[in-house]
Amino acid sequence: MPLRRPWRLLRSNIIVWCRYGTTKPTAIRLPGCDYLVEINPNDRRAQKMLIRDGARGKVSKATKIWRALAAHLQPTLVIDVGLNYGECMLGTTYGPDCRMIGFEANPGIFTLLERSIRHHPNHSQITLHNVLVSGVSGGSQPFFVDPDWSGTATAVRGLHNSPGVLVHELAVSSLDDRIPVEASDSARCLFKIDIEGYESKAMAGFIRTLDACRVAVGLIEFDSHFLSVAGTDPAVFLSELQEVFDVYHATDLQGRELQEVRRLEDVPSPTKSDRRHTDLILVKRNTCETGLFPPQFTIARAS
């Protein structure tokens, strides 16, 4: 048993070396893509989820769902809030009429994203913003980054108290103030919001854009602990989402078996606690279109 973990790490490093000629590549090709995404090889999140998993052909469930939705919906507007290295938005290609707008608050990763988009086939259609997304534009606010694991970067002070955390002062902006009106007018919108507890604040500044879109389908991280620390009541936030969207979560690893979410108790708890965590799938109501999910998706209605 004690040897299992070192052996797994050695085997993983051998696979990475065979793929890239080094165990710390600065750019990788996401599985299913033939263009580069630039990364920080010293970021443990990049090591785990992009370098090692990528070398084995693995992508996250959220990325699988995103790719399936993008291929089926053929969006004209793509919005990714909390890009990280761009695994979702940059992990597939889009039609020539699609406008892609990405938001990443971490300045170090934003620099890498600026380089990554040059490799993407739709590079001329991409706009990036290095701002802290919230409900209202104006002023600046601290943003907290763990240099060891980029995935926990957040605007929520209470989630980062360790002495090694880097603090960046960033301009604050709503999504509506960064997304051109003409881009959202009658758009088929695919969006993702994953910003560690600040999702409710981002949604508060996304109303005009959503109202203008003809179709809007999205992924949003829902973590009851992160939301609570940020000052948001998780049950109230879920109710607010349900006023605009039909809400689901994926119950299988491929992200194809969807379960309807009607109440907080329908959101899965990955641990034996009251904490609820998943990526919710949102479908805007009041649209005349049907068949917004790929045919391979199935839906189980909540009882």
Residues 6+ apart with CB under 8 A from 37: 27, 28, 29, 30, 50, 85, 86, 87, 90, 116, 119
Residue 228 tokens, joined: 């609570």
Percent pLDDT > 90 in the chain is: 88
| pLDDT tens digits, 99-125 | 999 999 999 999 999 999 999 999 999
pLDDT of amino acid 290: 81
**Average pLDDT over every residue of 219-244:** 98
pLDDT (average), residues 255-266: 96
Q: What is the DSSP string of 103-138?
A: E---HHHHHHHHHHGGGSTTGGGEEEE-SEE-SS--
Q: Which domains does the chain have, with CATH numbers?
A: 4-55 (no CATH), 61-300 (3.40.50.150)
- At 4, is the pLDDT very low, low, confident or very high (cuts 50, 70, 90)? low
The pLDDT-based confidence of 10 (bands split at 50, 70, 90) is: confident
Q: Give me the pLDDT at residue 2, please.
A: 53
pLDDT at residue 3 tops 80? no
Residue 204 has pLDDT above 80, yes or no: yes
Which whole number is the average pLDDT over 133-144?
98
Question: What would the pLDDT profile of 55-72 be if each residue is shown by its tens digit?
Answer: 999 999 999 999 999 999
Provide the pLDDT confidence category of residue 1 given band limits of 50, 70 and 90: very low
Specify the range with the lowest mean pLDDT, choosing from 173-187, 206-220, 231-245, 280-294: 280-294
List CB contacts of 133: < 8 A, sequence separation 6 or more: 81, 103, 105, 172, 173, 174, 175, 195, 198, 201, 202, 205
Beta carbons of 224 and 264 less than 8 angstroms apart: yes
To the nearest whole number, what is the mean pLDDT of the chain?
95
Full-model pTM: 0.95
